[in-house]
Amino acid sequence: MGSAGGVGGGGIYVPMLTLVLGFDSKSAAAVSKCMIMGAAGSTVYYNIKQRHPTLDMPLIDYDLALLFQPMLLLGISIGVAFNILFADWMITFLFIILFLVTSTKAILRGIATWKKETLIKKEANKLLENKLEQSIQLSLQISLTDRDAAAVETTQLLQNGSAASASDSKGLSDGNAVSQQYEVSLSSNVQWAELCLLAVVWIAFFVLQITKTCVRKCSMEYWILNFLQVPIALSATLYQAIGLYKGKKTIAPKGKDVTNWRVSQLFLYCCCGIAAGTIVGTLGLGGGFILTPLFLEIGIPPQVASATSTFSMAFSSSMSVVQYYLLKRFPVPYAAYLALVAIAAALTGQHVVSKLITLMGRASIIIFILAATILLSAFCLGCLLILVKDNGQVLALSCPL
C-alpha cells in the first residue's frame, strides 16, 4: 500500500528487519533500499502506461522528476556517508521526527482534498438534477401526437445535461477531479528525451561509484571523484530549471498548461532535492515520504504525485543499492528474496488502490494512504527506539541529550 501512496515503505521495512530478523539498523537501512528498489520498479512498470487524470499527458510527470532527481542522487551520496558516521539511535530518532512532521501535513492535505471532492460531487449532482427537472417539465408540455419527437428531444437533453454536468465538475475540480485513467502504448506515453537524460545522470553517478572502489580511500583521486558528482547533478538540474524559467518546459500542477516559475522557487526546490537525498541516503528510505508531500504542496494531483515520486525512487533507491553493495552493507541472498516479496506486494497494492479510486471517485485516498503509512512507520520506529537488538539482547536506548 505504501507504493500506491508514493512512499517506498522504508519506515516499516527498517523496524521489521531490525526487530524481527535481527539486523542492526545500518544493515537494515541497506536491505530496505533493496526492497524499496523492487517495489518502486514494479510500480513504475504499472504506471508507465497510465495517463494523467485530467490532462492529455502521461501519468508520470517527467519534467518534474528531472527537476528533482539529479539533486536527489547528489544528496544520496552525502547521506550514505552520514549513515556510516551517525550512531544507530541518531538515525532512528531522525526517522521519527521527520515522519511525524510529514504525516501531519499529509493528513491536513488529505482532509482538504476530501472536502473539495465532496463539494464537487454535490455541485455535479445539483446540475444533473436541474437538467432532469427541465426535461420532465418539457415532456409534460408536449402533446401526445408529438410523443415520438418529444422522446428524441428529451433523450438528447438528458445526454447534453450529463455532459454539461461532467464538464462543470471537471472545471470545479481545477485539476483535482478523478477521471478514468486509460492505458496507451509504451512508446507514445514516455517522454524519451527526459528519460534518457535521467538515465545518463544515473549512469554517470554509477561510473563514479565504481571508479571510487579502484582508488585508495581519502586520497586525492578519491575526493576528486566525489566532487565530480556535483557538476553532473548541477548541469542536469540547471538545464531543466532554465527550461522551466524560460517557458520552454512546463509542469502543469493544477491542470494548467503554463506555470510561471520564479528563480527563488526553483532554487528552493533544488535545495529540497538535495535535502531529501541526504535524508534518504542516511536513513535508508526511498524518498517518497518527502517528495510526495512536497509535490502535493505545489498542487500536483495525488495520482501524479504518487507516480512521479515512485518514478524518482526507482532511480534513487537503485543508486543507494549500488553504493551499499560496494560498501558490503547487506547480504545479497536476503536482499534478493525480500526484494521479490516487495515487488509482488507493490503490484497487488497498486492494483487494489487504483480500483478503489475508480469505484469511489476520490483521489484523496492516495493522500490518506500516504499519511497512514508514515504514521505506521513512526510507530514502528518508536518501538525500535525503545527496544534495540544488540548482540541478541534487547536493550533500552540511552540518548545523551
- Cross-strand bridge partners of residue 389: 394
pLDDT exceeds 80 at position 133: no
pLDDT digits (tens, 9 = 90+) for 239-279: 988 888 887 787 765 544 445 778 888 888 888 888 877 87
Closest CA to 229 of 348, 121, 76: 76
pLDDT tier, 92 (very low <50, low <70, confident <90, very high otherwise)? low
Residue 277 has a pLDDT of 78
* CA–CA distance, 300 with 254 (Å, rounded to integer): 6
Sequence ranges of the domains in the chain: 10-117+193-394
Bridge-based pairing state of the strands 388-390 and 393-395: antiparallel
Task: Check residues 173 and 111 and name the one with the higher pLDDT.
Answer: 111
**Residue 224 backbone dihedrals phi, psi, to 5 degrees:** -65, -45
Closest CA to 177 of 113, 128, 107: 113
* CA–CA distance, 296 with 305 (Å, rounded to integer): 6
Burial class (CB in 10 A: 0-12, 13-18, 19+), 107: middle
Residues 6+ away with beta carbon under 8 Å from 244? 63, 67, 250, 251, 259, 261, 266
CB 291 within 8 A of CB 251: no
CB 238 within 8 A of CB 225: no
Residues 6+ away with beta carbon under 8 Å from 289? 7, 10, 11, 98, 99, 102, 370, 373, 374, 377
HSE of 221 in the Cβ direction (CA atoms, 13 Å)?
Answer: 9
Closest CA to 134 of 156, 112, 119: 156
pTM above 0.85, yes or no: no
Residue 212 has a pLDDT of 83
Give one word for 252, left, alpha or beta, with left for phi > 0 and alpha for psi -120 to 50. beta
**Residue 331 backbone dihedrals phi, psi, to 5 degrees:** -80, 125
Burial class (CB in 10 A: 0-12, 13-18, 19+), 286: buried
pLDDT tier, 167 (very low <50, low <70, confident <90, very high otherwise)? very low
Give one word for 367, left, alpha or beta, with left for phi > 0 and alpha for psi -120 to 50. alpha
CB 307 within 8 A of CB 353: no
**Mean residue pLDDT across the chain:** 75
* CA–CA distance, 305 with 105 (Å, rounded to integer): 15
* CA–CA distance, 277 with 316 (Å, rounded to integer): 8
pLDDT digits (tens, 9 = 90+) for 342-356: 888 888 888 888 888
pLDDT tier, 225 (very low <50, low <70, confident <90, very high otherwise)? confident
pLDDT exceeds 60 at position 196: yes
* CA–CA distance, 274 with 276 (Å, rounded to integer): 5
User: Which DSSP symbol is given to 51?
Assistant: B
